[in-house]
Amino acid sequence: MNGSELVETVQAAAKTELSRLGSSKSLYADTEGEMEPETVLAAAADNAHHAAETFDGWADDDIEGAFADAVEIEREHYDSIAGKLDDHDPGTPPAVVEFLRGLPAGVERLGGLVGWTLVTEEKSSQCTGFFTGQADPQTASLFRGFGDDYEATRESALDALDATCKSDDDWERAETAATSAIEAAYDEYFETLEDLGVNPKPVC
Protein backbone atom coordinates (compact mmCIF):
# COMPACT_ATOMS: atom_id res chain seq x y z
CA MET A 1 0.00 0.00 0.00
CA ASN A 2 0.97 3.65 -0.40
CA GLY A 3 -0.53 6.97 0.63
CA SER A 4 -2.82 7.32 -2.38
CA GLU A 5 -4.14 3.79 -1.94
CA LEU A 6 -4.74 4.45 1.75
CA VAL A 7 -6.99 7.42 1.03
CA GLU A 8 -8.90 5.53 -1.65
CA THR A 9 -9.41 2.58 0.71
CA VAL A 10 -10.57 4.77 3.59
CA GLN A 11 -12.91 6.84 1.42
CA ALA A 12 -14.46 3.69 -0.03
CA ALA A 13 -14.89 2.08 3.40
CA ALA A 14 -16.44 5.23 4.89
CA LYS A 15 -18.34 6.46 1.84
CA THR A 16 -21.72 6.64 3.60
CA GLU A 17 -20.33 8.23 6.76
CA LEU A 18 -18.41 10.91 4.86
CA SER A 19 -21.42 11.65 2.67
CA ARG A 20 -23.62 12.26 5.70
CA LEU A 21 -20.91 14.27 7.47
CA GLY A 22 -20.92 16.52 4.41
CA SER A 23 -24.68 17.11 4.57
CA SER A 24 -26.69 19.96 6.02
CA LYS A 25 -27.77 17.65 8.83
CA SER A 26 -24.14 17.52 9.94
CA LEU A 27 -24.08 21.30 10.32
CA TYR A 28 -27.38 21.08 12.18
CA ALA A 29 -25.79 18.59 14.57
CA ASP A 30 -22.63 20.67 15.04
CA THR A 31 -24.73 23.68 16.07
CA GLU A 32 -27.23 21.56 18.05
CA GLY A 33 -30.02 22.89 15.89
CA GLU A 34 -29.06 26.56 16.15
CA MET A 35 -28.00 27.23 12.59
CA GLU A 36 -27.13 30.90 12.94
CA PRO A 37 -23.93 32.47 11.56
CA GLU A 38 -22.44 32.87 15.04
CA THR A 39 -23.03 29.25 16.06
CA VAL A 40 -21.71 27.92 12.75
CA LEU A 41 -18.57 30.01 13.14
CA ALA A 42 -18.18 28.98 16.78
CA ALA A 43 -18.40 25.27 15.92
CA ALA A 44 -15.77 25.64 13.20
CA ALA A 45 -13.57 27.68 15.53
CA ASP A 46 -13.84 25.00 18.22
CA ASN A 47 -12.64 22.35 15.78
CA ALA A 48 -9.69 24.43 14.59
CA HIS A 49 -8.66 25.42 18.12
CA HIS A 50 -8.74 21.92 19.58
CA ALA A 51 -7.14 20.39 16.49
CA ALA A 52 -4.25 22.86 16.67
CA GLU A 53 -3.76 22.11 20.36
CA THR A 54 -3.77 18.38 19.67
CA PHE A 55 -1.28 18.56 16.82
CA ASP A 56 0.93 20.86 18.87
CA GLY A 57 0.92 18.23 21.60
CA TRP A 58 2.37 15.79 19.09
CA ALA A 59 5.29 18.09 18.27
CA ASP A 60 7.83 16.05 20.23
CA ASP A 61 7.04 13.05 18.06
CA ASP A 62 6.61 14.88 14.76
CA ILE A 63 7.05 12.79 11.63
CA GLU A 64 8.42 14.46 8.51
CA GLY A 65 7.05 17.80 9.73
CA ALA A 66 3.43 16.72 9.15
CA PHE A 67 2.20 17.75 12.59
CA ALA A 68 4.02 21.08 12.60
CA ASP A 69 2.43 21.91 9.24
CA ALA A 70 -1.00 20.98 10.60
CA VAL A 71 -0.52 23.17 13.69
CA GLU A 72 0.37 26.20 11.61
CA ILE A 73 -2.57 25.76 9.25
CA GLU A 74 -5.13 25.21 12.02
CA ARG A 75 -3.92 28.17 14.01
CA GLU A 76 -4.36 30.32 10.93
CA HIS A 77 -7.84 28.85 10.44
CA TYR A 78 -8.76 29.57 14.03
CA ASP A 79 -7.56 33.16 13.83
CA SER A 80 -9.53 33.70 10.61
CA ILE A 81 -12.75 32.20 11.98
CA ALA A 82 -12.55 33.68 15.48
CA GLY A 83 -11.82 37.06 13.93
CA LYS A 84 -15.38 37.04 12.59
CA LEU A 85 -16.80 36.60 16.08
CA ASP A 86 -17.05 39.29 18.73
CA ASP A 87 -15.57 36.84 21.20
CA HIS A 88 -14.83 33.13 21.26
CA ASP A 89 -14.30 30.87 24.25
CA PRO A 90 -13.50 27.38 22.91
CA GLY A 91 -16.07 24.79 23.90
CA THR A 92 -15.86 21.02 24.13
CA PRO A 93 -13.59 19.32 21.59
CA PRO A 94 -15.49 17.48 18.86
CA ALA A 95 -15.43 13.69 19.14
CA VAL A 96 -13.01 13.26 16.25
CA VAL A 97 -10.43 15.42 18.02
CA GLU A 98 -10.99 13.55 21.29
CA PHE A 99 -10.30 10.35 19.38
CA LEU A 100 -7.07 11.76 17.94
CA ARG A 101 -5.83 12.65 21.41
CA GLY A 102 -5.92 8.99 22.40
CA LEU A 103 -3.76 7.77 19.54
CA PRO A 104 -0.24 6.46 20.24
CA ALA A 105 2.76 8.13 18.64
CA GLY A 106 3.69 6.91 15.18
CA VAL A 107 1.74 5.88 12.12
CA GLU A 108 -1.56 5.85 14.03
CA ARG A 109 -1.36 9.61 14.49
CA LEU A 110 -0.62 10.13 10.82
CA GLY A 111 -3.57 7.93 9.89
CA GLY A 112 -5.78 9.76 12.36
CA LEU A 113 -4.73 13.05 10.83
CA VAL A 114 -5.74 11.79 7.39
CA GLY A 115 -9.16 10.78 8.73
CA TRP A 116 -9.58 14.13 10.46
CA THR A 117 -8.90 16.03 7.22
CA LEU A 118 -11.50 13.99 5.36
CA VAL A 119 -14.11 14.74 8.04
CA THR A 120 -13.26 18.42 8.38
CA GLU A 121 -13.14 18.97 4.64
CA GLU A 122 -16.70 17.66 4.34
CA LYS A 123 -17.90 19.86 7.18
CA SER A 124 -16.14 22.91 5.78
CA SER A 125 -17.95 22.47 2.47
CA GLN A 126 -21.23 22.78 4.36
CA CYS A 127 -20.02 26.01 5.95
CA THR A 128 -19.29 27.32 2.47
CA GLY A 129 -22.83 26.50 1.38
CA PHE A 130 -24.34 27.94 4.54
CA PHE A 131 -22.68 31.32 4.17
CA THR A 132 -23.44 31.40 0.46
CA GLY A 133 -27.08 31.00 1.46
CA GLN A 134 -26.63 33.79 4.02
CA ALA A 135 -25.48 36.12 1.22
CA ASP A 136 -22.05 36.37 2.88
CA PRO A 137 -19.68 35.61 0.00
CA GLN A 138 -16.60 36.71 1.95
CA THR A 139 -17.09 34.12 4.69
CA ALA A 140 -18.16 31.50 2.15
CA SER A 141 -14.93 32.14 0.25
CA LEU A 142 -12.94 31.80 3.48
CA PHE A 143 -14.26 28.30 4.10
CA ARG A 144 -13.92 27.38 0.44
CA GLY A 145 -10.23 28.23 0.66
CA PHE A 146 -9.83 25.95 3.66
CA GLY A 147 -10.43 22.99 1.36
CA ASP A 148 -7.02 23.45 -0.24
CA ASP A 149 -5.46 23.64 3.22
CA TYR A 150 -7.03 20.35 4.35
CA GLU A 151 -5.79 18.74 1.17
CA ALA A 152 -2.27 20.07 1.85
CA THR A 153 -2.39 18.74 5.43
CA ARG A 154 -3.54 15.36 4.15
CA GLU A 155 -0.82 15.22 1.51
CA SER A 156 1.80 16.06 4.13
CA ALA A 157 0.53 13.22 6.32
CA LEU A 158 0.47 10.81 3.37
CA ASP A 159 4.02 11.74 2.39
CA ALA A 160 5.07 11.06 5.98
CA LEU A 161 3.34 7.69 5.87
CA ASP A 162 5.07 6.81 2.60
CA ALA A 163 8.39 7.62 4.27
CA THR A 164 7.59 5.85 7.54
CA CYS A 165 5.53 2.73 6.85
CA LYS A 166 7.82 -0.27 6.46
CA SER A 167 5.31 -3.11 6.52
CA ASP A 168 1.71 -4.05 5.79
CA ASP A 169 1.07 -3.87 9.51
CA ASP A 170 2.14 -0.22 9.58
CA TRP A 171 -0.29 0.61 6.79
CA GLU A 172 -3.08 -1.36 8.44
CA ARG A 173 -2.63 0.54 11.70
CA ALA A 174 -2.71 3.85 9.83
CA GLU A 175 -5.82 2.79 7.92
CA THR A 176 -7.58 1.69 11.11
CA ALA A 177 -6.80 5.02 12.76
CA ALA A 178 -8.13 6.96 9.77
CA THR A 179 -11.39 5.03 9.53
CA SER A 180 -11.85 5.11 13.31
CA ALA A 181 -11.48 8.90 13.30
CA ILE A 182 -14.28 9.13 10.75
CA GLU A 183 -16.39 6.71 12.78
CA ALA A 184 -15.91 8.86 15.90
CA ALA A 185 -17.19 11.91 14.03
CA TYR A 186 -20.08 9.94 12.56
CA ASP A 187 -21.12 8.46 15.90
CA GLU A 188 -21.27 11.96 17.38
CA TYR A 189 -23.29 13.19 14.40
CA PHE A 190 -25.72 10.27 14.70
CA GLU A 191 -26.19 10.52 18.46
CA THR A 192 -26.60 14.31 18.43
CA LEU A 193 -29.28 14.21 15.76
CA GLU A 194 -31.15 11.48 17.63
CA ASP A 195 -31.01 13.61 20.79
CA LEU A 196 -32.44 16.51 18.77
CA GLY A 197 -35.27 14.32 17.50
CA VAL A 198 -33.97 14.24 13.93
CA ASN A 199 -33.62 11.08 11.83
CA PRO A 200 -29.86 10.80 11.10
CA LYS A 201 -30.48 8.73 8.00
CA PRO A 202 -31.74 10.35 4.79
CA VAL A 203 -35.24 9.42 3.74
CA CYS A 204 -35.26 7.95 0.23
Residues 100-131 have pLDDT tens digits of 999 999 999 999 999 999 999 999 999 999 99
Q: What is the DSSP string of 103-115?
A: PPTTHHHHHHHHH
| Residue 141 falls inside a structural domain | yes
Output the DSSP codes for 175-202: HHHHHHHHHHHHHHHHHHHHHTT--SSP
Asked if the structure places residue 37 within a domain, the reply is yes
Report how many domains make up the chain.
1
Tell whether 201 is covered by a domain: no
Q: What is the pLDDT of residues 19-73, one digit of tens each?
A: 999 999 999 999 999 999 999 999 999 999 999 999 999 999 999 999 999 999 9
Nearest to 96 by CA among 195, 190, 185: 185
Please check whether residue 200 lies inside any domain of the structure: no
- Quote the domain boundaries for residue 184: 3-195
| pTM given for the model | 0.96
Residue among 202, 193, 176, 199 nearest 32 (CA): 193
Instruction: Report the CATH number at residue 103.
Output: 1.20.910.10
Asked, for residue 22, whether it belongs to a domain, the answer is yes
Residue 204 included in any domain: no
* 202 domain residue, yes or no: no
Asked whether the beta carbons of 41 and 143 are under 8 A apart, the reply is no
